[in-house]
Structures are given as C-alpha cells and as structure tokens.
C-alpha cells in the first residue's frame, strides 16, 4: 500500500465499491481511497477468452473467470430447501457484474413498506421518494434501456425517460404476448444495462467489446485517470477483520498480503464494506474484540439473519411444430411484465414475469458436431419448439434463514460459510398458485406443458443479511447503511436491504451507493 492511512478503505470492488469510489473522486480527485479485493484480476474484452467461451458454448465451465465462482459443495447448506450457492457470485476485480445479466429494474414504492403493508419481512427506514433521484443517477451510470410508456412507470418515473431506448420484442415473443393479453397481463420491455453499443454477440457473460455494464470497466477507467492520484485498487487481497480502538470507532482493516500471505493492517478514517450479501455479514461476524464480543454490529444476533432469496418459477411447454422457424434472437431478455408486481399481490409473494431469454433455440453447431446432415437438422428445427414462462417470486426475510461462519477457509483465505434456509409453507403454497396462473398462459399459447417447477432458492439476488433498521434491535445498519453503534463503518450491499422485492437488486444497490457517497461527502 502506498499510504499508512486512507480517507476511505473499501472492501470489495463490485458495483457497490466502484460506484462509491467514482462518486467520491468526482467530488474531489485528491480523495485517498484504497479498494481491497479478495479475488484476482481477470482480463476483460480479451479475444482469446471470448473465443474459448464461444467455441465451448455447450460446456458450462468455459468462462475465463469460472474458477472464481463458488464450486458445488463449497458452502454447507441446510434447511427444507437446497440453497444454491454455486455460480451465484464471482469473486474477482469488478465483482459479480462481470457475470450478471444486466437486468435493471427499480423496486416499487410498496417494496419499501413490506412489513407495514403485510406484516411480513422488513421495512426500509425511508421511502421510494428518498431514493428517486439516486435511481436516476444509477440508470445513467449503468446506461439502462427501457420503455417509459408502460403503465407501472407512470407511478415510478412520471415523465422520466430511460437513458437508452428499449430493445423491442422479438418475433418469438409475439405468441406469448398474445397469451398474456388474453390473461390481462401487460407486456413490457426488459430494462437492461447496455453500457456501450451492443453488437448482440449473445455472449453477455463475457462481452468481447465491453458493451454490457461491468464494474471492471469503471475500475479500469478510474485507475487510468491520472487525476485520481490517491486511488489504489489491490486485487487478491482478502480482508480478514475490521479493526477498532473503541466500541464506536473503526480504525482500519486486517488483510492477507497477496505475495507473502502474512496478515497486515491498513488504516482508514471510514471503512465501507462492499463485499456482497455473504461476505459482508461474515466480515462483521469475524471482527470480534473486547468491544464487540459477537462481532461488530452483532450485539443483538442479527448479523447474517433474514437471508432473502428469489424463488424462480418456471413453466415450460412444447409445440409440435416450428413452421415459423422461430428462435430467440438475442441471448438476453426482451419481454417482461410487472402486472403481478403490485401492492395487491404483496401479501401472496408477488411475482415479476418474463420469458425465458434463450428459448426457443436449437444448438445447430452441436448437431453438426454429432454428424447430422443438413437435411436431418432442417427436419429437427421444424419439428417442434419449446417456450418457457418464468418469474421471480418475492420471498420475505425470516429470522432463522441465515448465513453463518463455518470451519475452514476457502481458496481466498476467507472462512467457509454455512447457509440455513427454509422456504415457508405460505411461500410454497403461493408459488403453486402462481404456477397455475403461469400454466394457463402457456396453455393458451397452444403448448403442451412439459415442466412446472419452483427452482431451489439461490444466492444470485441474496439480500437482507445486514439489513437496515431504525434501531439496533431492528437491523444491523441504519438508514445510511452505517453499522449501528459505530461512527464510521458502513455496509453498502444488497445485504442492507430489508426486503428483496420481486425484481433484480443491482439498480437499487447502485442507487444506494450514490446515496451513501453523497452522505459521506456531506459528512466530510
């Protein structure tokens, strides 16, 4: 490290950490910031990596950064569901947006009052209106495309356009749209982070031209900007503890030196934990001292609790011809609806509907590799097609659903984790009801239903594990995501969300990162 002490030490280089750093530096280029990242640096926009991904498309272990994902079985899980951790985050320079889908939806006003409206889960200590200006900043930061004309936008963004126009529905979306409308479901266009001009390579998970937003691109720009003289970003450097010299004052962090493996200290006037919904609570739990016997912010045993996941519901059907030769034309989603994402359905685990982004589809190259002739492939492509209706179902935070420290270390030198997760009986019943509604749509499309499932819960959109609350008895963090009982420790992560809504979290997280940066600037 260049310095002994920094104004800000940020733990984690994902979208949360990079957005805060960028905003602080925009305010004052001389601000001293140290970003410590546990994972390694994997090159973006590399031709070889990209070609390997393309030609190995049928294998699932083909992306250059796969080795930074949790491997199956690495986390210990228990409960009435098998919680999926593998593939639900990446640990590297730039964090999980290196791997994400880029769907960018605002939470709805009712999501901030879940407990107030339903008696379930948690309430945010502020309203949608508080976040409104920051949502706009976040949409510009991520360059979100979307259609302002949809009915739900009248409430959420009256007169506020998206930075980019939407991608139109594809022809293969058409038959699902017709079935939706028959069932009173309004079709919408999926808002997606199209950071730079998309050339529709269909390889979003490793874009050869950096078109889909990834925090790596922001970090690269920050690092190469000579004005940012006091910014330092260090990869392969896991933070193992937060240091204190009194109950309320945080002094810095302990990290493992990437070359020697030794534990070292670095000091910061403010420490911001941006380590995701798993590692953020783990780091607080690890940071035990005479002042914090159970870890920082954990006097009321709330750290790691209220883990929320999205259930993914799927109804798939097959049609016994494909006369139109339809195939999904982009490997990203174009069709969605928020018709069932309203206060009316909040008590029954509301859902966000979308069409499976990759269907109908046939892997022509694989058939060729298997030695099928042109005639045989033509016959296969016309014989049938498969479509799938999917949704995210909101789940609500339960005290006993939690992330815990487990014995042993993972590859990054961080403690392993244990997850306990039960899906409530009500949620299971509601999921069944939603599947019935979704099945009706697929049936109305004229398809024979072949699959009707609720996927196991997973960590892709995990939230809640350091949730905000008005007091330290309600939550780990306050309305500014400051850890209750401390002066200068913040958690900027989905972990701080008291509810997970029915849509993807990252736009809201980015808005929260702007909000926090502005709070810090004011405080300084």
Binding site for ligand FAD (CB under 6 A): 11-17, 36-39, 88-89, 91-92, 95-97, 99-103, 238-239, 274-276, 279, 283, 414, 460-461, 493-494, 504-507, 509
Question: Out of 40, 79, 109, 202, which residue is the one contacting other proteins (CB under 8 A)?
Answer: 202
408 three-class SS: strand
β-pair partners for 353: 337, 391
What does the alpha-carbon distance between residue 98 and residue 517 come to, in Å, rounded to a whole number?
22
> Which DSSP category does 166 fall into?
P
Burial (Cβ within 10 Å: 0-12, 13-18, ≥19) of residue 345:
middle
> By C-beta, is 109 or 174 nearer to other proteins?
174
CB 97 within 8 Å of CB 239: no
Question: Out of 329, 444, 472, 518, which residue is the one contacting other proteins (CB under 8 A)?
Answer: 329
CB 223 within 8 Å of CB 233: yes
Question: Out of 127, 155, 181, 221, which residue is the one contacting other proteins (CB under 8 A)?
Answer: 181
Burial (Cβ within 10 Å: 0-12, 13-18, ≥19) of residue 443:
middle
Q: Which partner from the list ligand FAD, other proteins, none does 1 bind, CB cut-off 5 to 8 Å by kind? A: none
Q: How many residues bind other proteins (CB under 8 A)?
A: 47
CB 266 within 8 Å of CB 34: yes
Question: Out of 136, 139, 173, 388, which residue is the one contacting other proteins (CB under 8 A)?
Answer: 173
Query: Per rule CB under 8 A, is residue 178 in the interface with other proteins?
Result: yes
Tokens 């995990």 map to which residue? 462
> By C-beta, is 275 or 337 nearer to ligand FAD?
275
What does the alpha-carbon distance between residue 276 and residue 509 come to, in Å, rounded to a whole number?
10
> By C-beta, is 267 or 327 nearer to other proteins?
327
Q: How far is the CB of 119 from ligand FAD (least distance, A)?
A: 27
Q: How far is the CB of 468 from ligand FAD (least distance, A)?
A: 15
Query: Per rule CB under 8 A, is residue 446 in the interface with other proteins?
Result: no
> Please, which of residues 456-515 interact with other proteins by CB under 8 A?
none
Give the chain's length. Answer: 524
Q: What Å distances lie between residue 132 and 108, 127, 137, 157, CA to CA?
A: 11, 9, 9, 8
Helix or strand run (H / E) with residue 175: helix 174-182
Q: Which partner from the list ligand FAD, other proteins, none does 329 bind, CB cut-off 5 to 8 Å by kind? A: other proteins
Q: For residue 137, give the nearest of 276, 225, 17, 23 by alpha carbon.
A: 23
Query: Per rule CB under 8 A, is residue 203 in the interface with other proteins?
Result: yes
CB 343 within 8 Å of CB 116: no
Question: What b/e string do you get for 445-472 counting C-beta neighbours within 10 Å, with b at 16 or more?
Answer: bebeeeebebbebbbbbbbbbbbbbeeb
Query: Per rule CB under 8 A, is residue 187 in the interface with other proteins?
Result: yes
Q: Which partner from the list other proteins, ligand FAD, none does 378 bind, CB cut-off 5 to 8 Å by kind? A: other proteins
Checking phi first, is residue 71 left (phi over 0); if not, alpha (psi -120 to 50) or beta? beta
Question: Out of 77, 148, 358, 386, which residue is the one contacting other proteins (CB under 8 A)?
Answer: 358
Query: Per rule CB under 8 A, is residue 71 in the interface with other proteins?
Result: no
User: Stretches 23-31, 174-182, 271-279, 477-485: which one binds other proteins (CB under 8 A)?
Assistant: 174-182
CB 119 within 8 Å of CB 441: no
> Please, which of residues 410-429 interact with other proteins by CB under 8 A?
none
Q: Which partner from the list other proteins, ligand FAD, none does 388 bind, CB cut-off 5 to 8 Å by kind? A: none
Strands 5-11 and 192-193: unpaired
> In the numeric block, which tokens belong to residue 406?
């487990």
Query: Per rule CB under 8 A, is residue 365 in the interface with other proteins?
Result: yes
Q: How far is the CB of 320 from other proteins (least distance, A)?
A: 19
What does the alpha-carbon distance between residue 76 and residue 73 come to, in Å, rounded to a whole number?
7
Q: For residue 166, give the nearest of 141, 192, 187, 185 by alpha carbon.
A: 192
Q: How far is the CB of 310 from ligand FAD (least distance, A)?
A: 10
Q: Which partner from the list ligand FAD, other proteins, none does 171 bind, CB cut-off 5 to 8 Å by kind? A: other proteins
> Please, which of residues 29-58 interact with other proteins by CB under 8 A?
47-48, 50-51, 54-55, 57-58
What does the alpha-carbon distance between residue 262 and residue 256 come to, in Å, rounded to a whole number?
5
| Chain residues in the site for other proteins (CB under 8 A) | 47-48, 50-51, 54-55, 57-58, 151, 168-174, 177-178, 181, 186-187, 199-203, 325, 327-331, 358, 361-362, 364-366, 368-371, 373-374, 377-378, 381
């Amino acid at each position: 490290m260049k310095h002994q002490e920094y104004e800000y030490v940020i733990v984690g280089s994902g979208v949360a950490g990079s957005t805060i750093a960028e905003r602080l530096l925009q305010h004052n280029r001389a601000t001293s910031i140290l970003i410590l990242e546990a994972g390694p640096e994997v090159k973006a926009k590399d031709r070889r990596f990209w070609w390997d991904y393309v030609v190995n498309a049928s294998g699932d272990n083909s992306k250059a950064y796969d080795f930074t994902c949790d491997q199956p079985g690495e986390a210990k899980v228990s409960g009435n569901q098998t919680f999926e951790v593998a593939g639900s985050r990446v640990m590297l320079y730039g964090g999980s947006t290196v791997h994400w889908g880029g769907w960018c939806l605002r939470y709805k006003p009712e999501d901030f009052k879940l407990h107030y409206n339903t008696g379930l889960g948690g309430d945010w200590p502020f309203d949608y209106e508080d976040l409104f200006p920051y949502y706009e900043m976040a949409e510009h930061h991520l360059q979100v495309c979307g259609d302002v004309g949809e009915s739900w936008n009248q409430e959420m963004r009256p007169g506020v356009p998206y930075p980019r126009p939407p991608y139109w529905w594809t022809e293969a979306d058409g038959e699902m749209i017709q079935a939706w409308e028959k069932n009173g479901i309004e079709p919408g266009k999926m808002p997606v982070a199209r950071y730079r001009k998309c050339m529709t390579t269909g390889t979003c998970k490793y874009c050869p031209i950096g078109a889909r937003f990834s925090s790596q691109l922001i970090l690269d720009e920050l690092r190469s900007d000579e004005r940012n003289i006091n910014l330092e970003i260090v990869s392969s450097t896991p933070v193992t503890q937060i240091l204190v010299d009194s109950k309320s004052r945080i002094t810095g962090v302990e990290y493992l030196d990437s070359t020697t493996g030794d534990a070292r200290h670095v000091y910061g006037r403010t420490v911001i934990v941006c380590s995701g919904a798993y590692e953020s609570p783990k780091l607080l739990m690890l940071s035990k001292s005479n002042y914090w016997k159970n870890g920082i912010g954990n006097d009321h045993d709330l750290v790691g609790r209220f883990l929320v996941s999205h259930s993914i519901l799927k109804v798939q059907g097959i049609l016994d011809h494909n006369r139109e030769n339809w195939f999904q034309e982009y490997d990203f989603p174009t069709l969605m609806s928020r018709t069932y994402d309203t206060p009316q359905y909040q008590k029954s685990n509301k859902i966000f509907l979308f069409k499976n982004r990759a269907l109908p589809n046939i892997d022509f190259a694989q058939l060729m590799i298997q030695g099928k002739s042109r005639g045989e492939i033509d016959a296969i492509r016309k014989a049938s097609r498969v479509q799938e209706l999917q949704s995210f179902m909101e789940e609500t935070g339960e005290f006993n659903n939690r992330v815990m420290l487990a014995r042993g270390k993972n590859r990054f030198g961080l403690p392993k984790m244990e997850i306990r997760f039960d899906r409530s009986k009500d949620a299971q019943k509601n999921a069944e009801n939603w599947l019935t509604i979704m099945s009706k749509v697929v049936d109305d499309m004229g398809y024979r239903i072949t699959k009707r499932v609720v996927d196991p819960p997973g960590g892709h959109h995990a939230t809640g594990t350091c949730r905000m609350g008005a007091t330290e008895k309600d939550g780990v963090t306050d309305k500014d995501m400051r850890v209750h009982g401390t002066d200068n420790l913040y958690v900027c992560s989905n972990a701080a969300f008291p509810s997970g809504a029915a849509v993807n979290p990252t736009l809201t997280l980015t808005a929260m990162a702007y909000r926090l940066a502005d709070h810090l600037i004011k405080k300084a």
